Chains A and B, each alone.
Chain A
Amino acid sequence: MEDFNWIFKFLGRLHPLLVHFPIGLLVVALFLELLTLGGKRPGLREGIHWMVFLGTVSAVLSALFGWLLRNQEDYSGTLVDNHQYLGIATALFAIITLALLRGTLKGKLPHFRIYRISLLCTVILLTLAGHLGANLTHGEDYLTSVFTDDKTAYDEGKGLELLAELKRTDTLSAAQQDRLNLEVRAILAHNCYQCHSENKQKGDLVLDSKEGVFKGGESGEVVIAGNPDRSELYRRITLAPDHDEVMPKKGKVLKKSEIALIGLWIKNGAHWSDQEVKVFPEAELALVKPVLPESDEKHPVDKLIGNYFDQQNKEWPPLVEDRVFVRRAYLDIVGLLPPKKAVDSFVKNTRPDKRSVLIDSLLADGHNYTQHWLSFWNDLLRNDYSGTGFITGGRKQITDWLYNSLLHNKGYDQMVKELIDPSPESEGFIKGIQWRGVVNASQRTEMQAAQNIGQSLLGVNVKCASCHNSFVSNLTLEQSYGFASIFADSVLELNRCDKPLGKMAEVGFLYPELGDVKAENVQERLFKLSQVMVKPENGRLYRTIVNRYWAKLMGRGIVEPLDEMDNQPWDRDLLDWLASDFIDSGHDLKHLIKRIMTSKAYQLAAANYERPDEVKEDYVFNGPLLRRLSAEQFSDAVSQVFFPVFHAVEYDPSGQKPTAQRIWHREIKFDRDVLPEPGKRYFRKSFVIPAKNILEAKALISVDHAYTLYINGEQVAQGNDWKRVGKIHVGRFLRPGKNLVAIEGVNEGVIANPAGVLFAMEIEFDDGHKIKVDSDTSWKSSAEHPNGAWTAVDFDDTAWGQVRNYGHSNWGKLVGFTFEDDRSGFARASLVKQHSFLKALGRPSRENVTTSRDQQATLLQALELTNGEFFNSVLEEAAELWIEKFGGEGQKIVDHLYWNTLGRNPSEKERNLLLSVLGDRPKKEDVQDVFWSTVILPEFQFIN
């Protein structure tokens, strides 16, 4: 077949020639037919008959050949489609017309009227098809290109308006010159930048800068001011669409109005405006605080939402019942489940303002509020207890600063100022992450500072523009480097995609209208920037944070994605009102939470959307979304109800420094300290007690993995779980003079792994004097089983080695390792070092700013919950505890379980099902499985 393709191609190309026959013949036939109206000139009939016949045959042929042409030479597009349909319709109508004419002539039809109407239709169709054909074909060559109905974001209306205006005047005013130039640059941006910009310089031609436009490309200048006809750019855009040299590209040409504007611009001297051309939509910097609409609603947010519902022709959906509200409020403010007592008394409470009162009391719970919201801020400010960079000193935590800022409800403006113009406690944010070695230009720490401030605080993407001019926003490379230079000791050189450009950055903030940030040194620049950032005129800063809080409490932002604040909000008034109200409140973050949570909008039942994309574009607010418990909320809820998931924190809000060290036998391989191999190790520490009366002596011990503790040769305690702190009264084992603590430690496992002894003893005498004995590097250890009474005071350990301090990094600070009475008993997940369990549940590794966590359930997550040893062992411990606590009564276990996890009584069916599993004497395994089945329930895992 391949060989005969030329025939089809050739026939196809006959199509344009052939189309002129039906055009001529059928049109003339119609004309002659008109002459016969009223029964005149019957002599024409024979000729008309032949013309219709020949016209029909050629119409059919040209439709056929046209179809060949299209298929042989790859035409596509709506224009071609329409031409084809009209052509085929013409041919069909011609056949019908011919049949009707013949029928009439043979006397089968009474008169010529139907045939005449049909002929008229044929000619109209023919004209339309011919017109489209003419549009397709341009010049003597055949078109070879694709036509699409390409409507880009370029707003033609504005251009047409301008064109009309300029056509009326001979001389252009300066303002008109500017507008003309900006319009032309917008046209270039939408049609030419793809290939001719700083990013991609085809033919060495760059059209997104003044220099580029006037420098021209490899074939020389492209714009000759005042002379469009001599300008290469103008010549190329005015070529026929099928010309090889036509621009933007063969088959895609500019609109007439666009060409006219460019021509006009060149003719008028190709003026270049100093203004920046804004290709992408950009949100206004300033806030517009709307006047609240008249409404029966009392809450300002509800007045606005009521107005919104009116516009959407929606009714207010129902509010949630108290039981649901109290769970929401607890989880949203303090991140914990409400205790049963709190639910009961809240439901019973008859005060009309009880919801608002509850919100106040929860917001007043400083540490719990802080320990919940800390996770949000850690994600946002990329702060974590561990991660890359720390090892070589290339990163710094801001945890203490952040914790205290939240605890004392520091004003948001003050927080921003302290992040940007930092003290040593808050400098970690703009210091970024530095790995050892050299770093590429777009990731130097100054650029990271610009990127992170942009993303976290301003909702603008600087990352794109730190490598090349952005193609998602109006930001340029120069602006990014200018912004980054604020944080730099020396002037930065611009790099495009890591290649130096030989051009130095000029210091400047992204929004220069807010004020100048130039200064001699970094310190002053940071000060200036911090002042400029928090100005009320910087609506962006405040919109961004209130939108994040709204999203956190409602499941979806007023603008989405949360980091793209130039996108359209679903209710601009609401966003700007909240931001203005936030400023008026003194930038009070708790006020913001209260504002949102006291509204009816927050208290609506969870909205039902059928498909995920309904909450993306074209979103209509209909109430909060279901939200999944965060990794921290889930973990804390399990700790609250069952058994501590975590026992040790990485950050201790009390600020107490541990005095005891995690020690183990020093293990060396090839002259290097290495992780300890599994096996038994022996530890000794002697100390002297003065001859005084001991009032009280307590010891704390935690050993990874297991220990036997001896004092003065007597066995005192044993343990095999480092997380459970042994708390022992040891007074009776002690005596005046030399004493000895000995520990036999076991490192389990099959490969080398972290192991450590943590021990502290406090001896208080009746005169108030205290002495302490802590595990530290003065202890001695041995890997060999000692011969003789090694736990006794007089054993000779001179041959033993000194222990090594293994640090706390593998264990954290045990909350139970305290001589004081136990506090809450579990470690809040927000204070815990990143852990595989939390990671699986979606806590991000804070290597980059994370402003929205992945809400999608994944297989790895489910695996962690299903067979993760860590999680299952927590539930196992809990089962043991509960059986003891409830004396093995299934009924009590079930009720307690439902109240504490789901905040309600089990239904009759649920109760029966669970009791049937537990039986009369519940076994540990059964209780554990009941626990598991409950915490996996969507009802538990979602905030309703």
Chain B
Amino acid sequence: MQEDNKRREFIKKMAAASLSASATSIPVASFLGSCSRPVQKLASTADTVILLWMAGGMAHTETFDPKAYVPYEKGVESKRVLSTFPKIPTVVDGLHFSKGLESIAGVMDKGAIIRSYKSADLGHILHTRHQYHWHTCYEPPQSVQAPHIGAWIAKELGPKNPVIPPFIAMGQRFTVGEAEELKAFHSAGFLGTEFGPFLIPDPAGGLESVRPPKGMSLKRFEARYKLYKELADKSGFLKQGSDYQKESLMRSMEQSYRLLNSPEAKVFDLSQEPKEVYDTYNTGRFGLGCLLAKRLAQNGGRFISVSTEYEPFLGWDTHENGHIRAKKMKELVDRPIAQLIKDLDESGHLDRTLVILASEFSRDAIMEGRPGETVKDQVDQPDIIEDEKFYGMHRHFTDGSSILLWGGGVEKGLVYGKTADERPCSSVENPVVIDQVHQSIYHALGIHPETHYTIEGRPFYTTPDGQGKPILDLFGQPVGKS
């Protein structure tokens, strides 16, 4: 048990921590204050972030970084297969994608691509461990719970529209395999549940999460709250114990009441969209997630993630039938993503909305892990492909993958970094690690790179040790010229 407001005691903003350090007379703790710059609100190029999460490991050579196309024929050698789709051009000169991504190819003049993302080297691959790392910037396990990037943003910037929760995570259910690991990073960690994700597994049902309970009319909902308030007033209890404890409880109930009673809840209502718009987006739950993300971004969402959903061996987690399944996944994501970018652009919201598409790592037909650090194999891939189900990228590859970005100050048409054209298709130019990705997002939002809190006596930064640096080139500010 602990007293109210304990969290504030544990977690102190850096400035506060350095102040209190002198008050509590712990000399070396002032180390924190004296060796870091004070947190300040920086200039920003974005207010809202949409993360389009390609869960399960999307092969870069099959999507946004195509290599030599080797069509399927019985007896083809696995080692010859680099891409199972032909290239297509995009609207950006010299930039090619893989077939099946024509719609996204059409909006690349509004965005940028990083082609040299390197995942962490975590040994024997576990998807959720890499996903945890991607979303928190910390490798699990950690001695304190690391917050999701959405929780950091919610904590630092708060809601943009007071009735829209600042961290919304769509598309992922927690009844699947590795559910506990998924829950572990869908969390505000030590920042406290207040900043945790507002979960919407099924975007079509998003409205329910922000309305009075099912089957309860607004009138009844209001009467119920009024009854509670009157009973609270009449109960003599309000005179006992510390007021601040009771107030915190009453206040949270009031906030919740106001949110659920708010007309703005219709933002969550997809039926408000014209049918043709709904149909354009509706390739499934992911597509509808993009539609809801659009509505949220246009109405004051802060951090919104839409996942294709991780479920072991499904989605982008192709352990076999890689070609066919990559084709299906592209059908799922291509149209709604492109439409999202177009709609945000047309409504003028793309300027201040950073849209990011990423995956925990890539895939390859041959290599498990990365060059020099190959790890325990998990896939049965024959040298000679006699059955089409072995045609595709089935192993987990951590040395190069693609990240797409649009809006929020990102330089349009930029291609950053590259991977080798021959196997291993590793990042060979401007390699990017997760710390840089996070810091680039924080940079766009104007969150100081050394933002941290003191938890259990230790500083905990947005990126480990506060060392991460944004990729300024993404924002048209090459290093040294800013």
Q: What is the minimal beta-carbon distance from B10 to any residue of chain A, in angstroms?
A: 7
Interface residues of A in 388-440 (CB under 8 A from B): 388-392, 432-440
Question: Which residue of A is nearest B178, CB measured?
Answer: A391
A-B complex: 4 closest residue pairs judged by Cβ atoms: A438-B123, A626-B241, A862-B256, A852-B2
Verify A442–B143 contact, CB threshold 8 A. Answer: yes
Scan A809-825; emit 1 where CB is below 8 A from any B CB, else 0.
01000000000000000
Give CA–CA (A178, B436) in the complex, Å.
49
B473 near A: Cβ within 8 Å? no
Give CA–CA (A280, B21) in the complex, Å.
13
A889 near B: Cβ within 8 Å? no
Verify A861–B235 contact, CB threshold 8 A. Answer: no
Give CA–CA (A50, B370) in the complex, Å.
89
Verify A435–B140 contact, CB threshold 8 A. Answer: yes
Chain A residue numbers with a CB within 8 Å of B241 are 606-608, 625-626, 942, 944
Q: What is the minimal beta-carbon distance from B283 to any residue of chain A, in angstroms?
A: 14
Q: For B34, B125, B231, B320, which residue has the most chain A Cβ atoms within 10 angstroms?
A: B231
Chain A residue numbers with a CB within 8 Å of B331 are none
Question: Which residue of A is nearest B199, CB measured?
Answer: A836
Q: A435-B126, A754-B175, A856-B4 are in contact. List 11 more A-B contacts (CB 8 A).
A: A152-B25, A154-B27, A438-B121, A471-B31, A610-B243, A626-B242, A670-B321, A672-B314, A674-B314, A902-B235, A942-B249
Report if A750-B202 is in contact (Cβ < 8 Å); known contacts: A669-B314, A936-B228: yes
Question: Which residue of B is nearest A608, CB measured?
Answer: B242
Q: What is the minimal beta-carbon distance from B433 to any residue of chain A, in angstroms?
A: 14
Looking at the complex, which one of B27, B224, B231 makes contact with A153 (CB distance below 8 Å)? B27
Q: What is the minimal beta-carbon distance from B119 to any residue of chain A, in angstroms?
A: 12
Question: Which residue of A is nearest B211, CB measured?
Answer: A867
Verify A612–B3 contact, CB threshold 8 A. Answer: yes
Interface residues of B in 29-71 (CB under 8 A from A): 29-31, 34-35
Report if A854-B259 is in contact (Cβ < 8 Å); known contacts: A436-B124, A869-B214, A910-B231: no
Scan B238-281; emit 1 where CB is below 8 A from any A CB, else 0.
10111111101111110111011000000000000000000000
Give CA–CA (A473, B121) in the complex, Å.
32
Verify B175–A675 contact, CB threshold 8 A. Answer: yes
A556 near B: Cβ within 8 Å? yes
Chain B residue numbers with a CB within 8 Å of A556 are 1-3
Give CA–CA (A189, B456) in the complex, Å.
21
Report if A451-B29 is in contact (Cβ < 8 Å); known contacts: A438-B123, A855-B3: no
Of A80-88, A103-111, A239-247, A840-848, the segment with at least 4 beta carbons within 8 Å of chain B is: A840-848
Verify B27–A854 contact, CB threshold 8 A. Answer: no
Interface residues of A in 225-262 (CB under 8 A from B): none
Q: What is the minimal beta-carbon distance from A7 to any residue of chain B, in angstroms?
A: 32
Give CA–CA (A917, B226) in the complex, Å.
11
Of B75-83, B187-195, B292-300, B445-453, the segment with at least 4 beta carbons within 8 Å of chain A is: B187-195
Of A308-316, A762-770, A782-790, A927-935, the segment with at least 4 beta carbons within 8 Å of chain B is: A927-935
Verify A861–B252 contact, CB threshold 8 A. Answer: yes
Report if A859-B259 is in contact (Cβ < 8 Å); known contacts: A193-B28, A388-B140, A854-B192: yes
Interface residues of A in 324-369 (CB under 8 A from B): none
Verify B240–A605 contact, CB threshold 8 A. Answer: yes
Chain A residue numbers with a CB within 8 Å of B234 are 907, 909-910, 913
Subset of 12 A-B contacts with CB under 8 Å: A151-B25, A451-B143, A464-B457, A466-B143, A471-B31, A672-B314, A675-B311, A750-B202, A845-B187, A861-B193, A865-B256, A942-B249
Q: State the interface size on chain B (CB cutoff 8 A).
A: 104
Interface residues of A in 636-678 (CB under 8 A from B): 669-672, 674-675
Report if A280-B26 is in contact (Cβ < 8 Å); known contacts: A555-B3, A869-B214: yes
Question: Which residue of A is nearest B373, CB measured?
Answer: A438
B184 near A: Cβ within 8 Å? yes
Verify A190–B27 contact, CB threshold 8 A. Answer: yes
B145 near A: Cβ within 8 Å? yes
Verify A937–B231 contact, CB threshold 8 A. Answer: yes
Scan B204-241; emit 1 where CB is below 8 A from any A CB, else 0.
11001101111010001001100110111011011011
Give CA–CA (A22, B393) in the complex, Å.
88
Chain A residue numbers with a CB within 8 Å of B28 are 189-190, 193-194, 279, 471-472
Report if A751-B176 is in contact (Cβ < 8 Å); known contacts: A670-B325, A862-B256: no
Chain B residue numbers with a CB within 8 Å of A561 are 6, 9-10
Question: Which residue of A is nearest B26, CB measured?
Answer: A153
Verify B237–A937 contact, CB threshold 8 A. Answer: yes
Interface residues of A in 863-922 (CB under 8 A from B): 863, 865-869, 872, 902, 907, 909-910, 913-914, 917
Give CA–CA (A190, B321) in the complex, Å.
63
B-binding residues in A (CB < 8 A)? 151-154, 189-190, 193-195, 200, 279-280, 386-392, 432-440, 442-443, 448, 451, 461, 463-464, 466, 470-473, 497, 551-556, 560-564, 605-613, 615-617, 625-628, 669-672, 674-675, 750-751, 753-754, 810, 839-840, 842, 845, 847-848, 852-863, 865-869, 872, 902, 907, 909-910, 913-914, 917, 925, 929-930, 932-934, 936-939, 941-942, 944
Interface residues of B in 143-182 (CB under 8 A from A): 143-145, 165, 173, 175-178, 180-181
B142 near A: Cβ within 8 Å? yes
Verify B173–A751 contact, CB threshold 8 A. Answer: yes
Interface residues of B in 360-402 (CB under 8 A from A): 375
Interface residues of B in 416-443 (CB under 8 A from A): none
Q: What is the minimal beta-carbon distance from B302 to any residue of chain A, in angstroms?
A: 14
Chain A residue numbers with a CB within 8 Å of B312 are 672
Verify A944–B240 contact, CB threshold 8 A. Answer: yes
Verify B126–A551 contact, CB threshold 8 A. Answer: no
Q: What is the minimal beta-carbon distance from A412 to any residue of chain B, in angstroms?
A: 19
Chain A residue numbers with a CB within 8 Å of B125 are 436-437
Report if A672-B227 is in contact (Cβ < 8 Å); known contacts: A194-B35, A625-B245: no
B122 near A: Cβ within 8 Å? yes
Verify B227–A610 contact, CB threshold 8 A. Answer: no
Give CA–CA (A564, B457) in the complex, Å.
10
Give CA–CA (A195, B31) in the complex, Å.
8
Give CA–CA (A942, B246) in the complex, Å.
8
Question: Which residue of A is nearest B201, CB measured?
Answer: A751
Question: Which residue of A is nearest B24, CB measured?
Answer: A617
Chain A residue numbers with a CB within 8 Å of B348 are none
Question: Which residue of B is nearest A935, CB measured?
Answer: B228
Q: What is the minimal beta-carbon distance from A944 to any residue of chain B, in angstroms?
A: 6
Q: What is the minimal beta-carbon distance from A378 to any residue of chain B, in angstroms?
A: 15
Question: Which residue of B is nearest A868, CB measured?
Answer: B213
Verify A930–B237 contact, CB threshold 8 A. Answer: no
Give CA–CA (A776, B388) in the complex, Å.
36
Chain B residue numbers with a CB within 8 Å of A473 are 457
Verify B181–A388 contact, CB threshold 8 A. Answer: yes
Verify A917–B178 contact, CB threshold 8 A. Answer: no
Q: What is the minimal beta-carbon distance from A469 to any residue of chain B, in angstroms?
A: 9
Looking at the complex, which one of A435, A553, A859 makes contact with B194 (CB distance below 8 Å)? A859
Scan B315-334; emit 1 where CB is below 8 A from any A CB, else 0.
00000110001000000000
Give CA–CA (A545, B129) in the complex, Å.
34
Chain B residue numbers with a CB within 8 Å of A869 are 208, 213-214
Report if A438-B1 is in contact (Cβ < 8 Å); known contacts: A448-B141, A910-B235: no
Q: What is the minimal beta-carbon distance from A318 to any residue of chain B, in angstroms?
A: 12
Verify A606–B240 contact, CB threshold 8 A. Answer: yes
Report if A153-B25 is in contact (Cβ < 8 Å); known contacts: A437-B122, A942-B241: yes
Q: What is the minimal beta-carbon distance from A671 to any residue of chain B, in angstroms?
A: 7
Q: What is the minimal beta-carbon distance from A725 to any residue of chain B, in angstroms?
A: 22
Verify B126–A625 contact, CB threshold 8 A. Answer: no
Verify A866–B10 contact, CB threshold 8 A. Answer: no
Q: What is the minimal beta-carbon distance from A440 to any residue of chain B, in angstroms?
A: 6
Give CA–CA (A194, B30) in the complex, Å.
8
Report if A854-B7 is in contact (Cβ < 8 Å); known contacts: A391-B181, A437-B126, A451-B143: yes
Q: What is the minimal beta-carbon distance from B82 to any residue of chain A, in angstroms?
A: 23
B198 near A: Cβ within 8 Å? yes
Chain B residue numbers with a CB within 8 Å of A848 are 142-145
Give CA–CA (A438, B227) in the complex, Å.
56
Give CA–CA (A194, B175) in the complex, Å.
48
